[in-house]
Structure 1
Amino acid sequence: MKRVLFDGAALISRLLLGVIFLAHGLQKWQAGFGIMGRLFTQAGIPLPQLSAAYATVVETVGGAFLIIGLLVRLSALLLLIEMIGAYLFVHAGHGIFIETGGWELAGASAAALVPLLALGGGRVGVDGILNRMYRRRAERRAAEADLAAHAPTVPAPTGTGEPHAGEARPGESGTGEPRRGESGAGESAHQTRPTSIPRQGTAPSSGKLTDDDIPEIDSLISDEPGKGRPPNR
Structure 2
Amino acid sequence: MYTRLNRAQPYALGLFRIVVGLLFACHGAASLFGVLGGAMGGGSIPAGTWPGWYAALIQLVGGTLIVLGLGTRIAAFVASGSMAYAYFKVHQPEALFPLQNGGEPSAVFCWVFLLLVFTGPGSLALDLLFARRSVEPGEDRAREQAPAVAA
TM-score when normalising by structure 1: 0.48
- Listed as ranges, the matches of 1:12-161 within 5 Å are 12-30=15-33, 31-34=44-47, 37=49, 48=50, 51-92=51-92, 93-94=94-95, 95-97=97-99, 100-135=100-135, 137=136, 140-141=138-139
Is 1:6 the counterpart of 2:9? The answer is yes
Separation in 1 of the partners of 2:108 and 2:59? 15
Confirm or deny: 8 A CA contact 1:123 1:129 kept in the other structure: no
> What is the deviation of 1:86?
0.6
- Listed as ranges, the matches of 1:173-188 within 5 Å are none
Structure 2 unaligned residues grouped into runs of 5+: 34-43, 142-151
Please tell me the residue identity of whatever aligns with 2:13.
A
> What is the deviation of 1:82?
0.6
How many residues get paired? 126
**What is aligned with 2:36?**
none
Confirm or deny: 8 A CA contact 2:45 2:52 kept in the other structure: no
> What is the deviation of 1:3?
6.2
Separation in 1 of the partners of 2:28 and 2:12? 24
Separation in 2 of the partners of 1:119 and 1:85? 22
Separation in 2 of the partners of 1:15 and 1:123? 10
**What is aligned with 2:148?**
none
Runs of 4+ deviating beyond 4 Å: none
Give percent identity, aligned residues only. 21
Task: Report the structure number with the largest CA radius of gyration.
Answer: 1
Separation in 2 of the partners of 1:21 and 1:60? 7
Query: What secondary structure, in the 3-state scheme, does the structure 1 residue paired with 2:98 have?
Result: coil
> What is the deviation of 1:71?
0.9
Q: If each structure's helix is expressed as a fraction of its own residues, which one has the higher value?
A: 2
Separation in 2 of the partners of 1:124 and 1:63? 15
TM-score when normalising by structure 2: 0.71
Separation in 1 of the partners of 2:68 and 2:60? 13
